Structure 1
């Protein structure tokens, strides 16, 4: 099996995927209602689509191809509203957050789809523990070599994206001490982590062919990398973000990725190199564990600073690109969180400190996702 050709795509276009929690209104535990939701959504015309995920307590919404922050937000809003209306008919709730705070993974059911059953057969209990919820952002690339260069350039900012999006402090009823505990479940998979450092599609094809010959992979879907090429779409896919608590935050994070991509392509502030990955695992752990207060090691200079400081520096660097891409509203939202309330993990912990009841936390997550006042 060979690597499929890289499709034509307009540079810097966006696509967003969001995995959502489906919960009951009794105790706000996860509810296996994705099939019923999908049945209702079949009758609704959407700008993107809605799909099942690996277990029946999850559902994924996707935008179509978008050009800017406003279009992402408009499509997410339309799909969110339709999904919430369908969920109301079924008397279930929907919410963001990278993990459900107290669900028991052993109670999950695998969605009846051949690929999901294959994953379950291969990975065993890990497949049910994969009931976690992330945001994926696709960035259009004019060609495959450009895609690989952008992939490695954006890899430097993986910790920034983790820290900004982190919304999974609770697992199995316990505060893990991590801002993004979700990614610990992703890291358990053998083909997670980072892509190999190649910057030509020909060389990437050689790598893929070698992996395919071993029988370890059959398609790009078998790689759970933090960023991976998606040749069928002509994009790269950023996969490390937790699902935010609001669609506004999701659109803002997509805008930030788009602005970083434009800055990297036009200004070329550094040339990607294999040595950029020397502090990669350390930086990623710091972001997962400590969020915005984690330590970031600059791969070129070796200078240590907080992620909060380095993210603020990127906001300054991409300012003109945010203007060109009409992304100012999204960046403004992220800057406000950086200076004030912090990430979604901070909001969840603060709410739990006040309420001392995780079902109440989930109830309030549902209200935030639906855009309803708490």
Structure 2
């Protein structure tokens, strides 16, 4: 049942960010349970374990504006940075740890994650990945399905813009988002199909639960999914962002697109209906990032992802004004011009290589206040 929270306004936004734990030398720290035990109560309320022992998730409260949500995320990062330093550890954010290998992976001891290990077998020990999840409150389940259907068409552009994981297993993958194919080793991932009604969506999920495939709906890891108990649409396709200002830009775009698709429905039917085109565009976005040339079935040619982004941003401005996220939406130009995968490759090309990259990721996790204010 769709739960509408009476104290939340429509289009309220919340952020979930997956974070990696590191030893001081940048190697993975498989100590998430140790960290969770020492967190102060206020921070522990917003921090959860993940499948792999070097990962934690920071989750903001729901907020009316993107500015409020990213301000809290900044505070959560600062609190976590202080807490892990007390254990001699560090934290960082990117779509992948550049050097972790699957054979070194340790699955978290929590019941959920041990269930995953027993269910997915060695798939649960794939290389860890780190994503950005954005929740947007939608006041009505049928509007939520309408927004869900429309957002599917925009998944490739969101992924192209957010690509921030070129390295995996100590090598350049050649992809802008190596996280995407690595995570897709799990079942129930990717761009899901359309649904005509909320009851049709609910039945598709419920049959998996009734048949014992999954214990509850959060074991579905689609790029976009509904969260009925929260009354939100959750967009999950994006790599975690190293810089909070890039997170803010992406969250603003998602918030605007959800509102557009719920109220105005701008997605072209040729994109939202053609699953083979969506899947190919998703691959191209993961491979080439914002430089991707995406299939346009209406014109029988390919078009730049950057051009699609410009069209989306133009459509978003009236909604950004209504939502109070104009400033954050304006940051998309900076992200598109300086994408995460390019920055990572530039740093790794310097003398210190991947070790220097991991140290740079650590340094950007929670920089001193003057730098933070300039970047935000």
Q: Secondary structure at the match of 2:363?
A: helix
Is the contact made by 1:296 and 1:306 (CA closer than 8 Å) also made in structure 2? yes
Structure 2 counterpart of 1:318: 316
> Residue 63 in 1 paired to residue 60 in 2?
yes
Q: Partners in 1 of 2:127 and 2:171 — Cα distance?
A: 17
Residue 83 of structure 1 and its aligned partner are, at CA, apart by 0.6
Is the contact made by 1:277 and 1:299 (CA closer than 8 Å) also made in structure 2? no
Residue 69 of structure 1 and its aligned partner are, at CA, apart by 1.1
What TM-score do you get using the length of structure 1 for normalisation? 0.92
Q: Secondary structure at the match of 2:156?
A: helix
Structure 2 counterpart of 1:19: 18
Residue 35 of structure 1 and its aligned partner are, at CA, apart by 1.8
Q: Pick closer, same or farther for the CA change 1:8–1:299 going to 2, 3 Å.
A: farther
Is the contact made by 2:153 and 2:267 (CA closer than 8 Å) also made in structure 1? no
> Residue 177 in 1 paired to residue 143 in 2?
no
Q: Partners in 2 of 1:70 and 1:363 — Cα distance?
A: 28
| More off after superposition, 235-244 vs 275-284 | 275-284
Q: Partners in 2 of 1:212 and 1:171 — Cα distance?
A: 34
Residue 81 of structure 1 and its aligned partner are, at CA, apart by 0.9
Q: Cα deviations across residues 316-348 of structure 1 (Å, max 9, x unaligned)?
A: 12112222212122122221232x32x101000
Equivalent residue runs for 1:1-40 within 5 Å: 5-9=1-5, 10-26=9-25, 28-40=26-38
Q: Pick closer, same or farther for the CA change 1:131–1:77 going to 2, 3 Å.
A: same
Residue 271 of structure 1 and its aligned partner are, at CA, apart by 6.8
Residue 130 of structure 1 and its aligned partner are, at CA, apart by 5.1
Structure 2 counterpart of 1:242: 239
Number of residue equivalences: 366
Q: Cα deviations across residues 208-230 of structure 1 (Å, max 9, x unaligned)?
A: 34333433233212212111111
Is the contact made by 2:155 and 2:282 (CA closer than 8 Å) also made in structure 1? yes
Q: Secondary structure at the match of 1:196?
A: coil
Q: Cα deviations across residues 26-64 of structure 1 (Å, max 9, x unaligned)?
A: 3x11111212221221x2424961111112111110001
Is the contact made by 1:255 and 1:327 (CA closer than 8 Å) also made in structure 2? yes
> RMSD in angstroms over aligned alpha carbons?
2.0
Q: Partners in 2 of 1:334 and 1:221 — Cα distance?
A: 30
Q: Cα deviations across residues 85-127 of structure 1 (Å, max 9, x unaligned)?
A: 1122122111110100011222222211111001001112211
Q: Pick closer, same or farther for the CA change 1:356–1:309 going to 2, 3 Å.
A: farther
> Residue 126 in 1 paired to residue 123 in 2?
yes
Is the contact made by 1:19 and 1:135 (CA closer than 8 Å) also made in structure 2? yes
Is the contact made by 2:74 and 2:366 (CA closer than 8 Å) also made in structure 1? no
2:196 to 199, 209, 216: 199
Is the contact made by 2:100 and 2:127 (CA closer than 8 Å) also made in structure 1? no
Residue 278 of structure 1 and its aligned partner are, at CA, apart by 3.6
Q: Partners in 2 of 1:7 and 1:298 — Cα distance?
A: 37
Equivalent residue runs for 1:1-374 within 5 Å: 5-9=1-5, 10-26=9-25, 28-41=26-39, 43-46=40-43, 49-129=46-126, 131-270=128-267, 275-298=273-296, 300-338=298-336, 340-341=337-338, 343-372=339-368
Residue 354 of structure 1 and its aligned partner are, at CA, apart by 2.1
Q: Cα deviations across residues 152-192 of structure 1 (Å, max 9, x unaligned)?
A: 11111111111111111000110000000001122112221
Q: Partners in 1 of 2:71 and 2:51 — Cα distance?
A: 27
What TM-score do you get using the length of structure 2 for normalisation? 0.92
Is the contact made by 2:177 and 2:239 (CA closer than 8 Å) also made in structure 1? yes
| More off after superposition, 57-66 vs 208-217 | 208-217
List gaps (5 residues or longer) in structure 2.
none
Q: Partners in 2 of 1:36 and 1:47 — Cα distance?
A: 12
Q: Secondary structure at the match of 2:248?
A: helix
Is the contact made by 1:48 and 1:63 (CA closer than 8 Å) also made in structure 2? no
Q: Cα deviations across residues 198-253 of structure 1 (Å, max 9, x unaligned)?
A: 13122223323433343323321221211111111111111111110022222221
Q: Pick closer, same or farther for the CA change 1:47–1:107 going to 2, 3 Å.
A: closer
